Amino acid sequence: MKRTSVVLGVLIVLAFSFGSFGVQNGYDLFQKALAKERAEGNLEEAITLYQQVIKEAKDKALAAKAQLRIGICFEKLGEEKEKQAKKAYQMVIDNYPQQVDSVNVAKEKLSNLLQAEPIVGKSDRGENLHLVMEGTDPDALEMMGAPSPDGRYVSFTDWDTGNLAIYEIATKKKRPLTDKKDWKDKGWCENSRWSPDGKKMAYSWWIDDNKNDLRIIGLDGSESRILTGPHGWIRCSDWSPDGKYILAAVYGRASISGISLVSVADGSIKTLKKKIRADSTMRFSPDGKYIAFNFLSGDGSDSDIYLLSVDGKTEVPLIEHPAHDCFLGWTPDGKHLLFSSDRTGTFDAWLLPVSDGKPDGEPVMVRKNLGNVDPMGITKNGDFYYGFSRNINNVYIAAVNPETCTSDAPVKKMPLPYEGRNHWPTFSPDGKQIAFIRSSLPPPPGGLEGPNFLCVRSLKDSNEKVFPLNKRVFDLDWVPDSSSVLVFGTDRESHAGFYRVDVYTGELSVVIQNDNPAKIHANSPEWTDDGKGLFFLNYDRINFVCPIVCRNLETGQTKTIHQLEIKNTPLFSISPDGKWLAIINQPIKSSTGRFERVIKIIPVEGGEPRELCRYENSRNARVIPRWSADGRFIIFSRIQKGDKLWELWRVPFDGGQPQKMGISMTGTSTISPHPDGRQIAFTSIGLERKAPEIWVLENFLPDEKKGKGGQK
């Protein structure tokens, strides 16, 4: 949520008297407490702040929420604090009987605590969790498949070739269904799903240039056909129980999806719901009457689960809770819904009884600490398959010789709370702070993106300031005077914008926001030397051009510096003296599998560019050029054919051959040199990239919840 500005606070005082300022202060305290709890993990301090909210807030609803969060914090602190958690929840019930929503949640959580021990202790049912298969490509985030209805096979994307393939679990044999020979052939498979009879596969096929379609193929490789024309993106999610429709999230040019049904007979598309951020975890109920899907709340603070009737006329919230609740699948008999939730502090698996599209009782925990997983499906006999990525990003610091812009010292991981959730590190111009993005939870591959925070950390004493953002972030850039951070990101409607966050107050203001994401979006922001203007790229998707422009933020005037080709997906950065722009052209289309990059420089006032070097990457990945602190080198990351690690390279501004800097890590990105030239911060998963895995949870359902029919 946006922080309330000082001006707005004054207006509230004038309009509603001094007394209402205490209410506003209570909300500010609540947000601070929420940041302490979710972003920093400082639960004890969060409890203290929530207690202060209760004392100062005159709003009973806010006080009830604060009391509820106290219970949640105690619960997160572990079993030794369980008694305090129960007491806190009881206080919500006793002290705030009129606050129905908070009371209902408190009752539920209190009930869960009282019965958690016997629930978790039901492992004597023969519950079994084991590894099914491991991916072949460590660079793959997921394998994008599903188990067959009979549990004999698992479909997956073979990232060695891009083919749709199946894996026979008993024999451990793999075979492709599509006939791509290698990555020289265009396209690759995404999101495959089985027909109800297990004889066919529906799958998304990425063509090129941000286009893909939906296809069907027989299990023996026959009867292959293209079901739809090309779209911006189609995520295949499920096959209807009667075999007549494919459930898909269809994305337009603005990257906003709609829940749609695709006819298996003729490929026609019926959109049931427009403009939502539904992910691929959507499933038909076994009776074919409903569609369950995840939905992130308006402020990004939690995710809930909704049911949509197949005619699109009725939509109801099935699970609403202040925690993150994520749909996993239906039990085969359709009488229960399996979901994960972090309502106890860890992601556990829960079962909710459902009847006629409505909850039919309280949810029950069936697996403690399942983890934040990527659900793949539930077989006819009730086995739950899911994907799991073992790779997590962290912020690393490399020591650099300022004279040579090279390093011979070991790279060190920056000691930060919540490992795996910190990325986009950026040093402040005065060299005293580092800003980075922290997610409140690591979203599963292809899943919903949870809320995030801008963290500003002192390099002297490691003190952190944490401000809520709730935006998908693509870049950070400090204002030249180090007073604010510019965030380049998108909101829930995919409107790309630049947002300025004051590092002292956390106040967020819009600098530039694009209200027509289908036509143009801005990219690669860089401040002018005086901090009064911005350089950025205008990706014009209609006219297929990409000019570098400079906008004076005081007058609103915009000047085109240089025209680039949008097909090259360029990115750039400005030199420390504010006189030059370094540009990397990085085309995403390649008929040979070779991805050539070109680095060139151009004066900020415009003119002819000068090429510094060109090189090949064995993989296509987004690379942002950065300048060394003294402006003598342009730094970039690259990976060569056959290498497992990315290298940091430098090319001299005055000309010369690019050279390795002696810094090697996996997936090195978001490079930020320190102003003193002695350090470089970047995001990486470390020295080893691990392939994704597929796991199966068996025998976790009570006998009465197992069914003989239904796919997922």
Question: For 489-522, b where at least 16 C-beta lie within 10 A, e where not — what string?
Answer: bbebebbbbbbbbbbeebbbeebbebeebeebbb
Q: What is the mean pLDDT of residues 600-622?
A: 87
pLDDT over 90 for what percent of the chain? 44
Q: What is the mean pLDDT of residues 468-480?
A: 87
Which position has the higher pLDDT, 5 or 144? Answer: 144
Which of 148, 167, 158, 153 lies closest to 187 in space, CA to CA? 158
Which position has the higher pLDDT, 24 or 277? Answer: 277
Is 90 exceeded by the pLDDT of residue 63? yes
The separation between CA 205 and the C-alpha centre of its own chain, rounded to angstroms, equals 22
**C-alpha span between 351 and 349 (Å, rounded):** 7
User: Tell me, what's the pLDDT at 328?
Assistant: 94
Q: Which of 21-25, 177-181, 283-287, 520-524 has the highest mean pLDDT?
A: 283-287
User: Tell me, what's the pLDDT at 336?
Assistant: 93
Identical fold at 6-120 and 124-390+692-705?
A: no
DSSP secondary structure string for all residues of 502-562: ETTT--EEEEEE-S-TTTEEEEEEEE-TTSSEEEEEEEETTTTBEEEEEEETTT--EEEEE
pTM of the model: 0.70
User: Tell me, what's the pLDDT at 252?
Assistant: 64
669 contacts 660 by C-beta, under 8 angstroms: no
Q: What is the mean pLDDT of residues 581-604?
A: 81
568 Rama sector, left if φ>0, alpha if ψ -120 to 50, beta otherwise: alpha
Is 70 exceeded by the pLDDT of residue 486? yes
Q: What is the DSSP letter of 371?
A: -
- Provide the pLDDT confidence category of residue 121 given band limits of 50, 70 and 90: very low
For the chain, the structural domain boundaries read 6-120, 124-390+692-705, 394-684
Q: What is the mean pLDDT of residues 336-352?
A: 87
Most distant CA pair in the chain: distance in Å? Answer: 75
Which of 87, 39, 125 lies closest to 367 in space, CA to CA? 125
CATH number of 6-120: 1.25.40
Residues 6+ apart with CB under 8 A from 364: 119, 350, 351
Residues 6+ apart with CB under 8 A from 42: 36
**226-235, 628-637, 698-707: least confident range:** 698-707
100-120 vs 82-95: helix crossing angle, rounded to 10 = 150
State the CATH architecture for 124-390+692-705: 6 Propeller (2.120)
- Provide the pLDDT confidence category of residue 198 given band limits of 50, 70 and 90: very high
Residue range 377-434, pLDDT digits in tens = 999 999 999 988 777 788 999 999 999 999 998 899 998 887 778 889 999 999 999 9
User: Tell me, what's the pLDDT at 225?
Assistant: 94
Is 70 exceeded by the pLDDT of residue 156? yes
**Cα end-to-end distance, the chain, whole Å:** 36
Q: Which of 76-85, 341-350, 500-509, 640-649 has the highest mean pLDDT?
A: 500-509
User: Tell me, what's the pLDDT at 549?
Assistant: 92
Is 70 exceeded by the pLDDT of residue 534? yes
Is 60 exceeded by the pLDDT of residue 19? no
User: Tell me, what's the pLDDT at 24?
Assistant: 46
Which of 634, 650, 637 lies closest to 576 in space, CA to CA? 634
64 contacts 29 by C-beta, under 8 angstroms: no
6-16 vs 19-35: helix crossing angle, rounded to 10 = 150
**C-alpha span between 30 and 43 (Å, rounded):** 13
Is 60 exceeded by the pLDDT of residue 29? yes
User: Tell me, what's the pLDDT at 117?
Assistant: 41
**C-alpha span between 50 and 67 (Å, rounded):** 7
Which of 183, 190, 240 lies closest to 212 in space, CA to CA? 190
Chain-wide mean pLDDT for the chain?
A: 83
DSSP secondary structure string for all residues of 294-351: EEE-TTSS-EEEEEEETTSS-EEEEE--SS-EEEEEE-TTSSEEEEEE-TTSS-EEEE
CATH number of 394-684: 2.120.10.30
Q: What is the mean pLDDT of residues 29-46?
A: 84
Q: Which of 131-145, 236-250, 507-521 has the highest mean pLDDT?
A: 236-250
DSSP run (H or E) holding 32: helix 19-35
645: phi then psi, degrees, rounded to nearest 5: -110, 145
